[in-house]
Structure 1
């Protein structure tokens, strides 16, 4: 039986693709949560209180005040958060069907290890890099295109990424794929991805999770040199 949640989960969040994975999941679950904004362009992710729950200085992270044994637990890394919430509430993550669970985990790891990082590098070298490096731009543009092809082939025979049922794998991938028209791809080229994006866009919880805005006007990262130093110029501290 799914666990009941009384005290709100703290979601440490900024409206990026990784952050929106978790806001979508919490909206789909319908459990109480409270957003703690982490302004990554201002360096909030390096504050000591945030590093206690997210040692990799990346959001999202959560604090569940009603964790295992009814004691608080913090979780960082978006994939780990999705798995934790899926187990706790018994939704959007197969509980008893090992084959279905493996499929969801495969595609979640595909997003965490490939789709998200490669799209992130594509965005960096195409938009934010202070100088254009043709090899790097083409490298990540081509890899992004390849990954969309992998996703399109998967969705050709499945309604959702994990199979017949909507899952945390869809939420994880959608956070990145939702912006595919800005990634300079023809939306008719991957018709199965387009069908899937439209399917998820129609879900009210997805709409609510995607609609959460930052409490301040977003910076134009392509022009904000200070924010670029914070986000792209870090070394070990």
Structure 2
């Protein structure tokens, strides 16, 4: 059977995984990421974990169809709950919101502390994930931002040890992306600035408490947006 084709987003995530590490894919869905990495010889073994029985059953079927059951083990697991410390060397957590990602990391810290690498791709609240990483003695070694099916995605390569994070806009948009003048981020900043400015214009004459709170949030976003954009230009 030919190697499993990945979406643009999953291919970007796969490219971040260090070769030769035992992988734990948390929230594996149908298991395509670990299947592809094992097929390509990038990782020797993998744990395909998911909290949902339906997708996990499909992942197990996909693994079996490709003759990889001796190298990929499927596990019903809420985050890292079914993974022992030291069983994996790299973990991927992708396709979840930032708050859920942080909860999984927090509850699975005994496993996380034994990892050589974390690859994270939160779909929202990326700033909360970046803050969690730095608050727990880790740093982001590199980042990528891309579009797939007209949606924006980020991928974070997280390692042990502290690193610099000098500005609040780095948490919101990514220090590496800003320093490297990532063109997708620059496009995103332009779109976000226009959208937030339009929303602000609609809310500025409203006297409700909710509107005032939202205006304060928008002003903070716009300040950090401009700070990031100015550094990139």
Report the TM-score, using the length of structure 1 for normalisation.
0.31
* Structure that is richer in strand per residue: 2
Q: Which has the higher contact order (CA 8 A, sep 6+)?
A: 1
* Structure that is richer in helix per residue: 1
Larger radius of gyration: 2
Report the TM-score, using the length of structure 2 for normalisation.
0.31
